[in-house]
Every structure is written in C-alpha cells, then in structure tokens.
C-alpha cells in the first residue's frame, strides 16, 4: 500500500489507535479488538518494550486488515528500524527533518508533531503526509479550526486528550482524523475484560467520528 493510500484510509476511518507501553501476548488481542471495532490504523510507540519486534509481528499478523505504524519516532535510526520492521506509517511528537528524510526516501507515510502554524507549515513543506497537532488538548478544537483557515491544504491529526466527548468537535473543526490512546485501551482493564472494552470503545469512537464526517459531506 502506498503512502497516499495509507493516508486516505486513515482519512476515511478518522482514527489512529495508539498503543504505548503494552507488550507481550496481550498486544495481538488488543489489536484484534481494535480491528473488530472498526479501527484500521494502529500505532505502536517506539518507547514500548521490544517495539520493533512487536511492529514486525503485528504487521505480518494483521496484513491486509490494519496498518501498523510506529509512534514516538524521535530519530532517523528509529525511522529506519520501524520501516524495516514493516511499519506502514511513522508518527512523532516533534518535528525532526532527518526522520522525514528517511520516511521520504523509503516511501513511508509520516506524521510529524507540531503545534504552531510555522511548525505545521514547515513539517508539510518537508514532506509530511499529515501533521500531528500535539498536544491538542492544550488549545482544543477551536485551535484546529483557526489553523485550518490559513492552512486549509495541510491534513491535521490532533492527538493528546482526545475523547468521545470532543472527537466530533475536532473532526468538525477540520481534522482528518484523531489519535487516541488510553480512551481506547484503558490501563485499568484486566485480561478478561480488555477485548470487549476495547472493541466497544472503538465502535463508540468511530460512531461519533463517522457521524461528524457525514455531517460535513455535501449532500
């Protein structure tokens, strides 16, 4: 799948699930539940235990069913390792031009983090497919709307503090998708309750997101 196809799939679904700090046998079960709930993009952060091996395992196991990406990609070395493992996209909390250079050279979709209009425009000019606005909860959906006014051509993915209560507001403000972590995969869940909790949370998030997207579509 090309990087443009990855971006379009994320745009259509409107959700990137973020797995941070999960490891071992529980992870494939979590991803299975995310997919069952309708999610098609899952980000494994590089500061998780054995992240590269986990990305490789998930990319192979869920090939054709979900795009497995790497998050918290802070260096070109991280980018190289993640892409080699099979990551379909790279996400970072910051803007590191060297990470974008690796992604662009390898043809991998990349979503660097930025906050100000200057950073957002710079990230896009360096080859970002979309820009992760982080931490989005500091300024909220109104900020996304304000930034979109002068920069309407730059796809934005707010991340940080996104919940079912505000996800639709971010989509209505012009975000193509939102990145969500603990609101999808609760840390307090046990192995027995995790699958259903994750699937239900994913279904509820996507219902809110898709309703907002339909409202924005021309009739």
Q: Which of 43, 49, 119, 121 is catalytic?
A: 43
Q: Which of 9, 57, 132, 213 is catalytic?
A: 132
Is 187 marked active-site?
Answer: no
**What region does 50 belong to: left with phi over 0, alpha with psi -120 to 50, or beta?**
left
Task: Report the half-sphere exposure of 6 (CA within 13 A, side-chain side).
Answer: 25
Is 132 marked active-site?
Answer: yes
The dihedral over CA atoms of 95, 97, 100, 102, expressed in degrees to the nearest 10, equals -140
Q: Indicate the burial class of 148 (C-beta count within 10 angstroms; 0-12, 13-18, 19 or more).
A: middle
Q: Report residue 58 as tokens.
A: 């998930």
- What are phi and psi for residue 145, nearest 5 degrees? -60, -40
Q: Which SS3 state, helix, strand or coil, does residue 68 take?
A: strand
Residue 75 burial (CB count, 10 A): 14
Cis bond leading into 135, ω under 30°? yes
Enumerate the active-site residues: 43, 132
């Amino acid at each position: 799948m090309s990087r443009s196809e990855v971006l379009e799939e994320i745009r259509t679904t409107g959700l990137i699930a973020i797995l941070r700090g999960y490891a071992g046998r529980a992870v494939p079960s979590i991803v299975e539940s995310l997919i069952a709930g309708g999610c098609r993009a899952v980000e494994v952060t590089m500061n998780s235990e054995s992240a590269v091996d986990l990305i490789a395992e998930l990319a192979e196991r869920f090939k054709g069913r979900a795009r497995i990406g790497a998050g918290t990609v802070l260096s070109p070395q991280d980018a190289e390792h993640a892409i080699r493992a099979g990551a379909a996209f790279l996400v970072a909390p910051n803007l590191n031009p060297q990470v974008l250079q690796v992604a662009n050279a390898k043809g991998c979709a990349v979503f660097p983090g930025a906050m100000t209009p200057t950073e957002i425009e710079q990230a896009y000019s360096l080859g970002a497919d979309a820009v992760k606005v982080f931490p989005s909860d500091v300024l909220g959906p109104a900020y996304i709307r304000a930034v979109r006014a002068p920069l309407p051509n730059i796809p934005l993915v707010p991340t940080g503090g996104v919940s079912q209560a505000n996800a639709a507001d971010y989509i209505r403000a012009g975000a193509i998708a939102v990145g969500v972590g603990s609101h999808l995969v609760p840390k307090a869940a046990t192995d027995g309750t995790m699958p259903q909790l994750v699937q239900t949370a994913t279904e509820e998030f996507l219902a809110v997101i898709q309703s907002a997207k339909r409202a924005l579509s021309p009739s």
